[in-house]
């Protein structure tokens, strides 16, 4: 027992008034605290507590008072880039993980830095650095230990008071290009983590639970079966193998658990939201068909042993990069007079699911967005009713939703007061085409991305093709209760409070509060840069605060990006990232973070694009560069827009960055296998793209044909 807790216990035992310092260490963050929905002082876990509702019982900031919100403090984060994370607050101390999982503890009332820990993710990844996303969605807290994870696959336990490392463990195979961008989940003295990486090489998804005190592995569960010749890890793998055909293990199979993990205290079970297939195209990975368990499912595991309990598969035979990796919210619902312990889930595929989580039985499934791959879900069999041709067997198909999903990892929230779910919804199709099915050619385990599908639209997203909104969804009636239109797509996650206020930030840089019952906008502030993270709320000394990390990022920005997002001007390093904290009647001025900068593509008048070279460059781009610099060579702001970069004027400078690794400290990987001819081809592609202006045909969602005349 440390000095502070001893002082606190003594004070409690003697009924002495608690001093501020003693009160600060009062909360033991364990299963009891994480099950307590009534306390509003702390934000103890990713979704606030075990229930993942992102609902706070605090009411000081409410539908009447919210207009008095102002800036209490801000913390500039000049070295950070994309900030997607949910901070935690324990007894007045805020913990958050920033870019490259640099983790900080700050005084939640003032923003004063208490400690900072840098896991040196780029250095640790070394030449394994390929998926150079700096994104990280959060951390876990358990009894004085903070647990973080890194892009290079480590799980690291820190002393919450000092930031000193208690243990560190590699959770992934370092020879694979898998990564962690998600958050760990703490429960019953264990911490659970999965990983991402299905797009970047043969990958077999699994989750691992470690003891928080020692860092020792407690259990591991695989999402998809391996090669049957090697034997199965457990009976669930044998069961799953019956739903696969061909030699799927050569492609890994996928199913990686990269986001949605919920601990359900009432059934002592873990609910996993599993990922898409590796590669996306089922024809390649499982040529004889099959449901391909446990891709794209909610899987319940015994929390102590990791043993399979039940599953519900949202997309049998996944082939569109749909996954069920979105958050899984626990709620008590009254459905037709029956009390149900429900799990609520709105995955990419556009259906909203209500499951009885005691047994995994499907209770409801209805479209909450535009969906054309299925007409509905048969509640008797639990299976979607697929539309003929949706699997693009007969040529190109435009499928709604596309791979970015009708709802992605941006968290939804649930208010027990309204009984509604607040979902950041998006509508964005993709063209799928496999008339010439390419077999996977992962030239080296680290080289790049291949999905075995020819894609359109889902990549370089033209302005106006996507739409999005914040919706209030009644999970019992399966009905949209209100909708607020949002710009483009990739708007941030939500939070709702007992003051009946829903908070959400968006790509326009607006952070806003809405009436939970009507959707009326009650308050907003312009934070000067695109928002990708969800807010949190907490209370210190009787005052309620709302905090938000601001740093545009995630796959929608880095991979898709496109003209739709680039026009906002959240260019690479153009605005200083921030942690903002708001409170009623706080009056600090908003900081100047930097003006919007829309890149101006460089088109040298004397450069003639060779179409053959440009085509070769495009293939290289799609394999290696697209992940950060954006589809169509249009950066969403995650990395420099290379159409506007002077680097292509100097082959030596280009080589020193791409092959020589000059920008490795910034997260730009070294591609030692790129030849001078490759670099030349890339130059022709980027120059070609610099001269293309993609716009939307007036009054339609059709992209206009490329116009080579103009430069934006
Ligand atoms: Ca995916």
Write the pLDDT tens digit of every residue in 14-48: 444 444 444 445 899 999 999 999 999 999 999 99
* pTM as predicted: 0.93
Q: What is the pLDDT of residue 5?
A: 45
Q: Which residue has the higher pLDDT, 93 or 449?
A: 93
Residue 189 Cα to ligand 1 midpoint, Å, equals 30
pLDDT-based confidence at residue 455 (cuts at 50, 70, 90) = low
Helix ranges, 184-335 (H) = 235-241, 282-285
Residue 323 Cα to ligand 1 midpoint, Å, equals 7
Give the residue-averaged pLDDT of 245-256.
94
Residue with tokens 């670099």, as numbered in its chain = 679
Helix (H) or strand (E) holding 543: strand 543-550
Residue 378 Cα to ligand 1 midpoint, Å, equals 25
Q: Is the pLDDT of residue 704 over 60?
A: no
pLDDT-based confidence at residue 438 (cuts at 50, 70, 90) = low
Residue 124 Cα to ligand 1 midpoint, Å, equals 24
Question: 227 with 220: CB under 8 angstroms?
Answer: no
Residue 199 Cα to ligand 1 midpoint, Å, equals 6
Residue with tokens 């973080």, as numbered in its chain = 148
pLDDT-based confidence at residue 395 (cuts at 50, 70, 90) = confident
Tens digit of each residue's pLDDT (9 = 90 or more) over 548-585: 999 999 988 888 777 888 889 999 999 999 999 999 99
Residue 276 Cα to ligand 1 midpoint, Å, equals 6
Q: What is the pLDDT of residue 8?
A: 46
- Average pLDDT of the chain, as a whole number: 90
Q: What is the pLDDT of residue 102?
A: 98
321: annotated active-site residue: yes
Q: What is the pLDDT of residue 14?
A: 42
Q: Which residue has the higher pLDDT, 4 or 243?
A: 243
Q: What is the pLDDT of residue 439?
A: 53
Question: 683 with 628: CB under 8 angstroms?
Answer: no
Residue 278 Cα to ligand 1 midpoint, Å, equals 8
Q: What is the pLDDT of residue 480?
A: 98
The percent of residues above 70 in pLDDT, for the chain, comes to 89
Q: Is the pLDDT of residue 384 over 50?
A: yes
Q: Is the pLDDT of residue 317 over 80?
A: yes
Which residue(s) pair with 466 in the sheet? none
Residue 57 Cα to ligand 1 midpoint, Å, equals 35
Q: What is the pLDDT of residue 486?
A: 95
Residue 275 Cα to ligand 1 midpoint, Å, equals 7
Q: What is the pLDDT of residue 120?
A: 96
Q: Which of 134, 321, 460, 678 is catalytic?
A: 321
Q: At what angle do helices 611-620 and 676-690 cross, to 10 degrees?
A: 100
Instruction: Tell me phi and psi for residue 587, to 5 degrees.
Output: -130, 20
Tens digit of each residue's pLDDT (9 = 90 or more) over 461-511: 777 788 999 999 999 999 999 999 999 999 999 999 999 999 999 999 999
Residue 184 Cα to ligand 1 midpoint, Å, equals 19
In 3-state terms, what secondary structure has residue 21? helix
Residue with tokens 């880039």, as numbered in its chain = 81
Residue 680 Cα to ligand 1 midpoint, Å, equals 30
Tens digit of each residue's pLDDT (9 = 90 or more) over 666-692: 999 888 889 999 999 999 999 999 987
Closest CA to 601 of 704, 705, 689: 689
User: Cis before residue 508, ω within 30 degrees of 0?
Assistant: no
Q: What is the pLDDT of residue 25?
A: 56
Tens digit of each residue's pLDDT (9 = 90 or more) over 154-167: 999 999 999 999 99
Q: How far apart are CA 550 and CA 571, in angstroms?
A: 14
Q: What is the pLDDT of residue 660?
A: 94
Q: How far apart are CA 246 and CA 440, in angstroms?
A: 15
Taking residue 592's Cβ as centre, other Cβ atoms within 10 Å add up to 9
Q: Which residue has the higher pLDDT, 403 or 3?
A: 403
């Amino acid at each position: 027992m440390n000095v502070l807790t001893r002082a606190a216990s003594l004070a409690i035992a003697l009924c002495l008034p608690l001093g501020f310092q003693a009160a600060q260490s009062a909360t033991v963050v364990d299963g009891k605290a994480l099950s307590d929905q009534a306390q509003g002082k702390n934000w103890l876990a990713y979704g606030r507590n075990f229930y993942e509702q992102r609902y706070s019982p605090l009411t000081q900031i409410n539908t009447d008072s919210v207009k008095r919100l102002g800036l209490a403090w801000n913390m500039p984060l000049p070295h950070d880039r994309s900030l997607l994370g949910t901070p935690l607050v324990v007894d007045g101390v805020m913990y958050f993980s920033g870019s490259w999982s640099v983790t900080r503890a700050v005084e939640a009332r003032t923003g004063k830095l208490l400690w900072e820990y840098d896991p040196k993710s780029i250095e640790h990844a070394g030449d394994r650095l390929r998926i150079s996303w700096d994104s990280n969605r959060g951390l876990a807290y358990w009894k004085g230990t903070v647990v973080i994870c890194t892009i290079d696959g480590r799980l690291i336990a820190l002393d919450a008071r000092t930031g000193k490392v208690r243990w560190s463990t590699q959770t992934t195979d370092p020879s694979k290009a898998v990564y962690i961008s998600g958050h760990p989940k703490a429960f019953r003295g264990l911490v659970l983590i999965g990983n991402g990486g299905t797009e970047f090489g043969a990958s077999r998804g699994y989750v691992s639970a470690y003891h928080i005190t020692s860092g020792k592995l407690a259990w591991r569960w695989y999402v998809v079966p391996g090669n049957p010749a090697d034997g199965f890890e457990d009976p669930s793998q044998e069961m799953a193998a019956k739903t696969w055909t061909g030699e799927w293990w050569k492609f890994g199979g996928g199913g990686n658990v990269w986001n949605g993990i919920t601990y359900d205290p009432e059934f002592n079970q873990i609910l996993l939201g599993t990922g898409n297939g590796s590669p996306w195209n089922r024809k390649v990975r499982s040529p004889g068909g099959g449901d391909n368990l446990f891709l794209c499912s909610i899987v319940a595991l015994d929390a102590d042993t990791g043993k399979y309990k039940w599953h519900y598969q949202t997309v049998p035979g996944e082939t569109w990069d749909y996954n069920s990796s979105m958050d899984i919210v626990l709620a008590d619902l009254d459905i037709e007079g029956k009390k149900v312990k429900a799990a609520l889930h709105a995955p990419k595929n556009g259906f909203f699911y209500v499951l009885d989580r005691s047994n995994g039985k499907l209770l409801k499934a209805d479209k909450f967005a535009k969906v054309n791959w299925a007409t509905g879900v048969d509640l008797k069999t639990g299976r979607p009713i697929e539309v003929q041709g949706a699997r693009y067997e007969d040529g190109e198909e435009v499928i709604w939703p596309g791979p970015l999903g009708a709802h992605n990892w941006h968290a939804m929230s649930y208010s027990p007061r309204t009984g509604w779910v607040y979902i950041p919804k998006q509508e964005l199709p993709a063209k799928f085409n496999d008339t010439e099915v390419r077999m996977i050619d992962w030239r080296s385990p680290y080289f790049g991305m291949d999905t075995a599908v020819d894609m359109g639209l889902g990549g370089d997203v033209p302005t106006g093709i996507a739409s999005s909104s914040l919706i209030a969804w009644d999970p019992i009636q399966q009905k949209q209760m209100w909708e607020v239109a949002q710009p483009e797509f990739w708007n941030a996650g939500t939070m709702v409070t007992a003051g009946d206020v829903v908070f959400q930030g968006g790509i326009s840089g607006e952070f806003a509060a809405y009436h939970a019952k009507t959707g009326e906008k009650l308050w907003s502030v312009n934070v000067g840069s695109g928002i990708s993270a969800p807010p949190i709320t907490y209370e210190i000394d009787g005052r309620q605060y709302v905090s938000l990390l601001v740093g545009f990022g995630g796959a929608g920005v880095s991979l898709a990006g496109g003209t739709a997002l680039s026009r906002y001007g959240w260019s690479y390093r153009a605005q200083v990232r921030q942690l903002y904290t708001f409170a009623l009647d706080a009056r600090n001025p908003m900081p100047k973070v930097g003006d919007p900068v829309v890149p101006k593509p460089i088109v040298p008048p004397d450069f003639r694009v060779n179409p053959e070279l440009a085509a070769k460059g495009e293939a290289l781009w799609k394999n290696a560069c697209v992940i950060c610099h954006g589809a169509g060579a249009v950066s969403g702001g995650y990395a420099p827009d290379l159409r506007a970069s002077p680097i292509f004027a100097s082959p030596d400078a280009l080589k020193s960055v791409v092959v020589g690794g000059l920008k490795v400290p910034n997260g730009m990987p070294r591609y030692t296998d790129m030849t001078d001819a490759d670099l030349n081809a890339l130059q022709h592609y980027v120059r070609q793209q610099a001269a293309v202006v993609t716009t939307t045909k007036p009054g339609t969602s059709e992209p206009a044909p490329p116009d080579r005349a103009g430069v934006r």
